[in-house]
Structures are given as structure tokens and as C-alpha cells.
Amino acid sequence: MATQKVIVKRLASIENFGSMNVFCSDKTDIDEGTIKVESVLDFNGNPNEKARLYAYLNASYQTGFTNPIDDAICVNNVDISGYQKLDECHMTLFGSDLAFWCPKRIRFIITKGALQNILDACSSVETSEARLIQ
């Protein structure tokens, strides 16, 4: 750690670090300092293209505060030409599809945040297999 010029404020943390068997890092790659989206998964941990679309819609239409996670999501282009942003509030996007042939356009709300906080506000969860009632 000294060769990497790491400053440690609490000596006990060096002992804790040395006794770890598994180290998990959240959001940023330790070596590169960049974020890359490897996959987009549903509630059950299965790959889900609808979740990828919604993540891309939210990340690409959001204004104001930008963050590296949104940038990483937007690297993999998704065709959103059939959708429009209606409004946004904090980290929530209000949008609709552009199905002009249909009198009832599909409107949606996409929000992002800590998983448990989002789940606490939901009454059901949609997965690749089915809609689950919580």
C-alpha cells in the first residue's frame, strides 16, 4: 500500500483489509476508475431487454445532474425513436410511446435509486417470466 502512496487514517482498517477473503467494489472499477455496464438484469437476475430500454430512456432523457452510471448506460445505444419525454422530477422520467395510430398512447414512469427503496414503494415486480405480486 505504501508503494501506491495510500494514506490510511485508521490503522485498524489495514488489519481488516488484510483479513478479507472477498472484496466487492460498487460502481467503479478499481484499476481504471471507469464504469462499464456488463448486463441489465430483472428482479430474478435474468437478462432483460425491457429493463435495458427503460434504463436507457431514463439515462438519456434525464437533464440536470449527470452521473457516470448514466454515461455507462448510454454507451450501448438503444433505439428510442418511438418514445418521448413528457417531464422529469429528480431521478424520475415521465414519458410515452409515439404510437400515433393508437388513440391510447402508453405512458410510463421510470425512476432510479437504491433497489430496496424502489421495491418498498412498489406493489408488484415485472420479470422476464411474469408479473409477481409482492
pLDDT digits (tens, 9 = 90+) for 55-96: 999 999 988 777 888 888 999 889 999 899 999 988 889 988
Q: What is the CATH number for 53?
A: 3.40.1110.10
Cβ-contact 86, 105 below 8 angstroms: no
Percent of the chain with pLDDT over 90: 13
Residue 10 lies in a domain: no
What is the per-residue pLDDT for 86?
Answer: 92
Residue 44 lies in a domain: yes
| Domain extent at residue 110 | 37-133
Residue 110 lies in a domain: yes
Angle, in degrees to the nearest 10, between helices 49-61 and 68-75? 120
Q: Mean pLDDT over residues 19-45, rounded?
A: 70
Per the model's pLDDT, the better-predicted residue between 24 and 37 turns out to be: 37
For residues 62 and 125, give the distance between their C-alpha atoms in angstroms, rounded to a whole number.
Answer: 23
pLDDT bin (cut points 50, 70, 90) of residue 37 is confident
Give me the active site residues, please: 26
Cell of 120: 418498498
Q: How many domains does the chain have?
A: 1
Check pLDDT > 60 for residue 112: yes
Residue 18 lies in a domain: no
Residue 28 lies in a domain: no
Residue 100 lies in a domain: yes
